[in-house]
Chains A and B, each alone.
Chain A
Amino acid sequence: MKYFDFYTAEHARRLKKQIVTAVLLTVLIALAAFGVCLWLLITAGTLTARKHEMLAFIVNGAAGAAVIFTWLNVITPRRRTLAHVRTVLGGEKETVEYACGLTLAEAPERVPGSVRVRRVTVNGGPRPRYLLVLERCAPLLKESGERGTLTVVSGYICGFAPENGGGGA
């Protein structure tokens, strides 16, 4: 059985470390910017008020951009991925056999509030079965071949074993 190395406790730990570092960094940036703006406000006098106000706008804007874009592009995707990895790691494994290959959907989809996935149709049974595979793991299914066994947790494919070495999904 070939498991995707995406679903490992080590990967989950790495993701958590990245999230904690990024959160600490954004909190630090936000607090530093707030402190600078507050200092500019307190020390503003008649002569310096306009300059301080402009500086506060610049500091506030730059820090806001750093925090918002880090939160949306670094922290949120990793948090979703971590939640998904934990779900799969803690879920019950199921084995699904396929006899006539797997059909991968062309376009990826987003599970609301979670990770991006591709739909997979398992052919060869009495009726087709529909599963999901993480978008970044989808290319690995090319080696799944015509016949084999899939390891599935909560509807997500997290490993496969081709019957005779694989050769195209």
Chain B
Amino acid sequence: MKRILKTISGQLLLFLTFLTLSTMLWGWLFSVRTNTTPDKKVTVYIDCDAVRDVELAARLEEDLPEGIRMVQVHPFSYALFDTSAFTGADLFIVPGSKAEEYRDSFAAFAVSYTGVLTLENGAVGIKIYDAAADRGGADAYITYVNASGEKEDFYLFYGASSLHFAGNENAVDNAAAGIANRLLTLDQGEE
């Protein structure tokens, strides 16, 4: 019995080692396959956990701006352990009450129209969800509630380090504007 247990535990250890290494290898291959360089993708971070991120990304990918191969949508919790992807994101959707907290990540630019949220550093947020009217862009994919579970106005910001916002010095194109426009105009309930 002792011999059998020893044999089984030895083989199990080998199997677990194989499982760990192969899972890491396939995980890495899938991440390489389903990712691309920042200049070929637009990344959207949403400060809300109730996001159908995969479906929204697939919906936005139906009509990609030129030069863009994919759109990635993540809730803020995705960047818990890796903030580099967050700081380089192209678009942010955050509740109005938390906009100042993240203002350094948002691009500042001048606008000549009203109905926008301008932060202390000049970052401009475009209202994407109106809590009073209970209407917002892409609301079939995003449940616009804040951390307390209450409905609140949400704003769309461009990333300060975005490669796809023409207002930034390092921009390679203005693809984020195209994706922002799609987010704002995805009608209520539209899938």
Residues of A within 8 A of B (CB): 37, 41-42, 44-47, 49-50, 52-53, 56-57, 60-61, 64-65, 68-69, 72-73
Contacts and interface: CB of A to CB of B under 8 A. Distances in A.
Given A41-B33, A44-B33, A46-B34, A64 B26 contact: no
Contacts of B19: 61, 64
Contacts of A50: 54
Interface residues of B, number: 20
Contact of B15 (A49, A56, A65): A65
A117 B111 CA distance: 88
Contacts, number: 54
Interface in B1-41: 11, 14-15, 18-19, 22-23, 26-27, 29-30, 33-34
A72 B58 contact: no
- Majority secondary structure of chain B interface residues (helix, strand, loop or mixed): helix
Contacts of B22: 60-61, 64
A69 B55 contact: no
Contact of A68 (B11, B26, B30): B11
Contacts of B57: 46
A68 B19 CA distance: 11
Residue among A37, A46, A49, A57 with the most chain B CB within 10 A? A46
B70 interface: yes
A44 B15 contact: no
Contacts of A56: 26, 30
B26 A69 contact: no
Given A46-B54, A47-B55, A60 B30 contact: no
A57 B26 contact: yes
